[in-house]
Structure formats: C-alpha cells, structure tokens
A and B are shown apart, each in its own frame.
Chain A
Amino acid sequence: MSFLPYAVAIWLFVVGLYGIVTSRNLLHQIISLSVLQASTYVLLLAIGFRRGAAAPVFADIPANRAAVDPIVQALSLTDVVVGATVTALLLAIAVQLHKRTGSLDPEALRRWPEGRETEDGARGLSDGRATHGWRPPTG
C-alpha cells in the first residue's frame, strides 16, 4: 500500500499520454497534457513526504519540529503556475490553427499544408469557416 502514490503517478502519466496519443481534438490533447504534468507533481511531493512531519512553515510551530522536504515543494510550486501559462500558449496556437484551417482534428491536420494523403482518409471537423482556401477533405 505504500506504493500507492507512485502507482498513481505512473497511472496519471500513462493516462495522460493515452489521451494525447488517441485524441481527435486539439483542446482535448492539451488538457490531457496538463494531466501528464500533474503526475510529476504527485511524484515529487510523494518523494518529499515524511510520515508524522508537518508542513515546512515554522510560523506557528517550534523551529525544531520535523517537517517535510521543502525543495521538491519549491520545484512543484513554480512549475504549476508556469505549466498553466504554457498550456495557455498551446491553446492560443490551437485557436489560431482553427482559424486558419477550420479543423481541430490532429488526424486531418496531418495533411496540412502539403496536401499529401494519409492511409485512413481521416476526416476533419469543420464549421464552415475555413480561411485561405484550404478545407479538410470530407470522406
């Protein structure tokens, strides 16, 4: 049972990766990426945890009280904020990509811009607002 935190970290990593690999929607991929990032936070904090220790804030506890590892917390803390901002950057790219091509499907976007065919004839999701003359092929 003491392996559970590491097992959850592995599970989140694999699940997030599955979401990215088998996704048909760019936004779904981006949110799965954030699940992947969460697995690293869980792993780091699980490594830093000490049973019976308090949080590493000595404002109201005596300074010689046992506390958990603060270095992994420092890593995770900045990573959470910065990771969300990079996710915002990815969302901006997805928005502009949709504006240019009218599609959010990674399968259909594989054929943009050279126009080469893929084997399975993936179809795109278009709401009819494609610009620049390129439309994802139907059928």
Chain B
Amino acid sequence: MVLLTMMAAVVVGIVRLRNLFAVVILSSIYSFLMASVLIVLDAVDVAMTEAAVGAGVSTVLMLAALYLTKTEEAAPRHSPILPMFVAVVIGAALVYGSMDMPPFGAADSPLNTNEGIGYLERSIPETGVPNVVSAVLASYRGYDTLGETVVVFTAGIGVLLLLRRNRRGKAKE
C-alpha cells in the first residue's frame, strides 16, 4: 500500500512537471517502485526485468533521446478534458473488470487449479529445472520465447534502419 501510494505520487509528479529530464528520472523511480511491488508479489523474475529494463536501460535511452531534443515540454495545444474523460472511463472499466478476479493467491482460482499446478508438478521430473519460471519460459513455452526474441530482433533492426538512414541522408547534404 505504501509502495502504491508512492507510485501514485510519482505519477502526479510526472504529469505536472514540464522539465523532461526530471520526468525521465521520475519514471525511472516509478520503475523501481514497480519492481518492489513485484517482489512483494513474489514475482522475482519479473521484478528483475523491470528493474533492469524499466529503470536501467530505458532511462539511459530516454536520456540519449533527450540529448537530441529540447528538455522542456511544450505547453499542450488542446484542452485536456477529452483525453482525461477517456482515461477515466477506461480506468473505471478496468477496475470494474478486476472486481470479479479471485483474491490474490486463492487456491481455487483457475490459475492454481488447471494449467499452473500441472507445470509445478511436471517441471522437476521432466526438465530437472528447479526454477519453474525458467522451465515454462524456455521449455514448455519455447515457441512464445522464440517469438519474444524475434520481436526484440525486429525492434532492434527497425530502430537501426530508421536512425541509420537519417545519418546517411545528413552526410549527403
């Protein structure tokens, strides 16, 4: 609860600040808080990813992008009422949807009765890997992880193509 309150405070700060440097640092703090929340929820693998990617590398990339642009955000051109209305409606719908979720860690939830428990029982004898997350990621869901890797590959190639063409165009001029 303390963590969630701090996250809300950080978000308010991000929305209100116009200095992009401070915004980047605040979003890094937000990621660290998110990682702490995930640790509280016992999802250590996800927390590690969040801390490394969200707080570490993406902050550095944002700062690198910031170096190429201005550090002050321009004043908004349109009134913020319509976007705020959309955000509030979607947020309310999400909260309404989460009402029906089983309580966290409930033994009779679909997650803990069908597939999940099967993985927990099968992973040690079949793969000999004590970390079930790794076993599911790499072995049972190998296709999905392959897809993820290809997504990272595609994203990297896409960014490289975009940034490189510009550089070459500049050199010609």
A and B assemble together:
no
B residues near A (Cβ < 8 Å) are none
A residues near B (Cβ < 8 Å) are none
